[in-house]
Amino acid sequence: MCGITGWVDWEADLTGQGDILEAMLGTLSRRGPDASGIWLSKHAAIGHRRLVVVDPAGGSQPMTRRRGDKVYTVTYNGELYNTLELRHELEGLGNTFLTRNSDTEVLLMAYIQWGAACVERFNGIYAFAIWDEAEQCLFMARDRLGVKPLFYTRQGGVLVFGSELKALLAHPAVHPVVDAEGLAEIFVMGPSRTPGHGVYRGVFELRPGCCLIYGKNGSRLSRYWSLVSRPHIDDLDVTAARVRELFEDAVERQLVADVPVCAFLSGGLDSSAITAIAAAAFKRENTGLLHSYSIDYAGNERHFRPDLFQPNSDADWSGRVADYLGTSHHVVEIDNYELADALLPAARANDLPGMADIDSSLYLFCREIKKEHTVALSGESADEVFGGYPWFHDRAALRAKSFPWVRLLRERFKFFSPELVSLLQPEKYVEQRYQEALAEVPRLPGEEPFEARMREILYLNITRFMQTLLDRKDRMSMGVGLEVRVPFCDHRLVEYVWNIPWAIKNCDGMAKGILRRALGGMLPGDVLRRTKSPYPKTHNPEYLAAVREMVLDLLDDVNSPLLPLINAGEVRRLAESDGSLFDRPWFGQLMRGPQFLAFLIQVDAWLRTYKVSII
């Protein structure tokens, strides 16, 4: 993985503006710690920061190739998992390659050969920009499920793009201005942003499965991929076999790298399945033991208390699965005070307030893994694709006319200033975004009402909640130079599972029943049947004490930019309580009172660090 950035300007000569491009690249150094490169022409500036994963000698970027008198330059972040197939096809069409096995060169040659239609042939995760010097045209695209990020903004005749918001903000034409809609994305939607919304005024994120062409005559945005609803004709046994086939192929494709590969292992169904396939591949290819990693927190064994949202601890399960699969397993234990201190670097990695300690713990976890490995496989997205979250199985949540993870709006907004509440109109804003999302759902004519509703909920999860977790995984891992791959986001698997009826998805009376059936014989029976337990969080009161102290310090700081936005009295009351004022999550499954306080710490840090102007 890497960091990409650059801009196009029809009014200026950019050949002498390398210093600006270098400054933009400097913000992405953690995404690409191994190398840096720039390419300049009169109207285009293209930059790249590299994390070496495949073809260390041949994959330098920006990469330029010629066809006749035409020159094409690419900056690319991602991995193609069908590189060899594409390369053989391109060679059969008369193309020659200068590198040993660079997927960057394959991607660029695919564009030269097929133009914008090249993206329809890619299996992978990617965000890239290609400049056609002859046509004076920029082509940008993002992978189907949105694993890799790509932001852009237009300021007059200037188009600026980058892997992260901080790269755009390093350009002199882009300013950190936030209006009411941007504030609503932060405070109303929580970490779950509206797809395509960049929070800052005039800044957008290229949506998953979309591409953008920018030339002198303007820009054209188009979608090249979306979910398609069609009848599912396979019976239960055929469906389970097909799910297993697609999943195994996805994992095995994503093991390809010229650097060490490991796996995240919580002991839950999803990560255990990925680890099982990866470990078997390592043994088959005689490449040594697969290393696996799990996370825990200092003192958690004494303080963990099961509840509806987190019914059991991962600690015993991850070790048991590691022993069963024969991996070299490592437990990364997070100190609770360090967890609180990492709230600020996590917010900087994210460029926005995020999921509080759910982010900072992942940041610290990835930082430790990076000491020995460059690539990791992770189980994100299985619950969105197969329907594993509690709200898929809660009648009240299914009847609700809102996103099931956006919780406790009225309770939450008593902690904000009346002026902010009046400006944002939280319930109206959520309703608007919810209706927009429902209008996108690809319907299946004749589908009975319950199946149609489950299709809606699955669509909301795949296009909204899943994006939240993918963004988190990308920013926290790339913030320390670790590439994380997500096999459950293989688009072929997602397309197939999308049309499996709910009764089959939920077969055998269990959430994600079809996945459990597909994985039969791969894992111990109790692991296959284990009730979902979400990403682990700390239960140690040391963390709440540290966060409480930080919030109280902010409340006593008359210069805090947070103060005009909050009801300081209510926030102080929450900070001085035992954290039980939020006895249910206010976002997703995990974020409660302590996480809400930590979220406010991140908001304050964001406003200060980025010198945000609110209009």
Q: What's the pLDDT band for 583 if we cut at 50, 70, 90?
A: low
Residue 56 pLDDT: 87
Express each pLDDT in 438-476 by its tens digit: 999 999 999 999 999 999 999 999 999 999 999 999 999
* Other beta carbons less than 10 A from residue 284's beta carbon: 9
* Beta-bridge mates of residue 294: 331
522 backbone dihedrals φ, ψ, rounded to 5°: -90, -30
Q: Which whole number is the average pLDDT over 358-382?
A: 97
Instruction: Output the pLDDT for position 301.
Output: 80
pLDDT-derived band at 311 (thresholds 50, 70, 90) equals low
Residue spans of alpha helices (H) in 295-356? 300-303, 315-325, 336-341, 343-350
pLDDT of residue 533: 80
Note the pLDDT of residue 592: 76
Question: Looking at residue 531, what is its pLDDT?
Answer: 87
pLDDT (0 to 100) of residue 581: 61
**Average pLDDT value over all residues in the chain:** 94
Does residue 221 register a pLDDT over 90?
Answer: yes
318 and 517 Cβ atoms separated by less than 8 Å: no
Dihedral of CA 410/412/418/422: which sign?
Answer: negative
Across 380-398, average pLDDT: 94
Contact 171, 20 (CB under 8 A): yes
| The pLDDT of residue 585 | 76
More confident residue, 237 or 303: 237
Residues taking part in catalysis: 2
Give residue 72's pLDDT band: very low, low, confident or very high (50, 70, 90). very high
Token pair for 271: 């990560």
Q: Which is more confidently placed, 300 or 242? A: 242
In the chain, what is the straight-line distance between the N-terminal and C-terminal CA atoms, in Å? Answer: 36
* pLDDT tops 80 at residue 314: no
Collapsing DSSP to helix, strand or coil, 249 comes out as: helix
pTM of the model: 0.96
Is pLDDT larger for residue 341 or for residue 156?
341
* Residue where the block lists tokens 């293209």: 46
- The pLDDT of residue 582: 64
- Specify the DSSP class assigned to residue 200: S
| Residue tagged 């804003």 (tokens) | 429
CA distance 374 to 370: 6
Which pLDDT does position 307 carry in this prediction? Answer: 63
- For residue 276, the one-letter residue type is A
Select from 496, 591, 487 the least CA-distant residue to 255. 487
Q: How confident is the model at residue 586 (pLDDT cuts 50, 70, 90)?
A: confident
- Of the candidates 519, 424, 382, 362, the one whose C-alpha atom is nearest the C-alpha of residue 178 is 424
Cis geometry, peptide bond prior to residue 208 (ω within 30 degrees of 0): no
Rounded Cα distance between 121 and 1, Å, is 20
Select from 202, 203, 220 the least CA-distant residue to 211.
220
Cα(103)–Cα(541) distance, integer angstroms? 47
pLDDT digits (tens, 9 = 90+) for 10-67: 999 999 999 999 999 999 999 999 999 999 999 999 999 999 998 888 889 999 999 9
pLDDT tier at 309, thresholds 50, 70, 90: low
SS3 readout for 8-70: EECCCCHHHCHHHHHHHHHCCCCCCECEEEEEECCCEEEEEEECCCCCCCCCCCCEEEEECCE
CB atoms within 10 A of CB 80: 26
To the nearest 10°, report the CA torsion of 590, 594, 596, 601. -130
In the chain, pLDDT over 90 holds for what percent of residues?
Answer: 88
Give tens-digit pLDDT for 166-194. Answer: 999 999 999 999 999 999 999 999 889 99
In 3D space, the residue among 40, 48, 106, 113 whose CA is nearest the CA of residue 75 turns out to be: 48
How confident is the model at residue 591, as a pLDDT? 75
Q: What are the tens digits of pLDDT across the range 533-567?
A: 878 888 888 999 999 999 999 999 999 999 999 99
pLDDT above 80: residue 580: no
Q: Give the model confidence (pLDDT) of 84-117 as tens digits.
A: 999 999 999 999 999 999 999 999 999 999 999 9
Residue 207 has pLDDT above 90, yes or no: yes
The alpha carbon of residue 112 and the mean position of all alpha carbons in its chain are separated, in whole angstroms, by 29
